[in-house]
Structure 1
């Protein structure tokens, strides 16, 4: 900051030094002017000028130091009070811009809320004809056509469900209800939803649940498992998907293992990134890159650890580690 201050006052400092040098030079040329007393005056005035600079540095940089430490948000409380006329011009400009940005942010927030409410309303309205379509598909006699239509219906259903949770996830803390959840019935319900797709691809399930109950939010846990099962089915062919639960160090773990195509090692660190799709099969237009991102975000809010291991051509294993009962104090404090 002191370098910036000296640079800002450079012209004044140079002017002062020039005047001192000029005074000494004139005294040197004119013998009528006593040189030694004048040199003493120049020395004293230089000392006084340095002290003055230090005083002005402390006084003038206080406001600008607070600007440097400012977090660039809309809170002006942390800024030092303006003292000089130019500082007041800056402060007034900041205040007016801050008020404008606050109004703009409030307006944008209202528009986003309206957009979210309209989209949620639209999704719920679309679910009605989807339910009717499911009933009509069930009455079809052509098994091949029925299987194909069921698959396409399921894709629409899952995409709508993903969109619904995507809009709700920023406010997930307001939507949590922690209770003892029956893991077995929840998993079976999600498998039942995917049954037609699994039959079409020749995929079965091997379920071994040593622990059948976990303390969590049932709705959001169902969403997380739905995303993991959907991924497992999508990238598997004619193989089983294994689901196991166990207790380890006082925590419940749930493992979901498939024997599908696996994930490229270079993709593993990025699979939970928003919008990321596989680099090995990048032309997969059906992938949105949102499922695992949303699942990871929901798991984080529920304090559920999510780990993944995979080998190309051998399959992928996702492991959910549920928090201990005492850890839920942190959720309620969020």
Structure 2
């Protein structure tokens, strides 16, 4: 920091050196002036100048260090001890910071209000959506029933995705880590997608060597919902395989489909928000949110999601669950 201060005050230092050099030069060319006296004066001047620099460094850097530390940014209680310029800087920073803080506070209140209104709207929409499902179940025309069930499911999944998207930033407050039965979670999600899978001729091959994992069941279900929805959406008549195993002391769950696959150039970007595809860029059904939200929900649970895929050969998503000692980071216990 002292080096930076010297660089900032180099004009002072250069001026002082220039004046001392000029004085010595005059004594050198003027025999009437004693060179020894001038050198003695230069020595004393240099000593006083160094002391002056050190004093100014202590005084000025106290102010600038306060600016550097964010927590002390507005601690100008001793403003009367500041120089006029420092006082101007302190006043300007305080004004702009207070203005910014008010603006942020206002934006946060507005966002909280919009979030609450959205949550309220989603829950209100769920009521007629549930009634609509009951009405669809009473339809006798099976072809019409399948088509309307599929459209109902699309609305249901979009609402669910929107609801969880707003909850993810606060999901750590909603976590409940416990021994979770993989089979019940998987079958619950498969049952939700049943009508869609029947329409497309898609089945499920489930082989769970390990059936229990430590995680949050509700958020795990959401992650699986995004991955299974993605697999069904981009697959034709085939089986989606789900199997669990142990790898390097950790439980893994693989979800493999025989769909259209993912181009190698797209693989690094599939978890980015809004990214759909470069190979199928005209696919208007893709929102680019499912995998992004799955990744966002997996991070607080310490679940790693990996993917292997090739165009025309399908995709395999692997969920690697954390070891037991990693839950200390999740629960804080």
Query: Which of the five TM-score ranges fits, normalised by the shorter chain?
Result: 0.7 to 0.9
**Native 8 Å contact 1:27 1:34 kept in 2:** yes
State the shift of 1:276 in Å: 1.7
Q: Does 1:76 align with 2:73?
A: yes
> 2:323 matched to which residue of 1?
324
Q: SS of 1:301's equivalent?
A: coil
Contact kept, 8 Å, 1:302 with 1:331, in 2: the verdict is yes
Please state if 1:243 is matched with 2:242.
yes
| Matched residue count | 331
Q: Per-residue displacement from partner, 1:276-319 (whole Å, max 9, x unpaired)?
A: 21111112222221111111121121222222111221111111
Structure 2: gaps spanning 5 or more residues: none
**Aligned pairs (5 A) from 1:70-149:** 70=69, 76=73, 83-85=81-83, 86-149=85-148
For structure 1, which segment, 73-82 or 220-229, has the greater mean C-alpha deviation from structure 2 after superposition? 73-82
Cα 1:305–1:10 shift into 2, 3 Å: closer
Check 1:87–1:251 CA distance in 2 against 1; reply closer, same or farther (3 A cut): same
Give 1:269 shift: 1.8
Q: Does 1:212 align with 2:211?
A: yes
Name structure 1 gaps, 5 residues minimum: none
SS of residue paired to 2:263: coil
User: Is the partner of 1:196 in helix, strand or coil?
Assistant: helix
Q: Is the 8 A contact 1:306 1:318 kept in 2?
A: yes
Q: Is the 8 A contact 1:123 1:164 kept in 2?
A: yes
Cross-structure match for 2:48: 48
Q: Normalising to structure 1: TM-score of the pair?
A: 0.87
Indicate conservation of the 8 Å contact 1:241/1:257, yes or no.
Answer: yes
Asked whether the 8 Å contact 1:63–1:81 carries over to 2, the reply is no
Residue aligning to 1:301 = 300
- CA 1:80–1:5: 2 relative to 1, 3 Å: farther
The answer to whether the aligner puts 1:277 opposite 2:280 as a matched pair is no
Separation of aligned partners in 2, 1:296 and 1:207 = 23
Output one character per residue of 1:142-162: Cα deviation in whole Å (capped at 9) or x when no partner: 433332222222111111100
Aligned-residue Cα RMSD (Å) equals: 2.8
Give the whole-Å Cα distance in 2 for the aligned partners of 1:99 and 1:312: 54
Give the TM-score normalised by structure 2. Answer: 0.87
Looking at structure 2, the residues matched to 200 and 294 of structure 1 have their Cα atoms a distance apart, in angstroms, of: 26
In structure 1, what is the equivalent of residue 189 of structure 2?
190
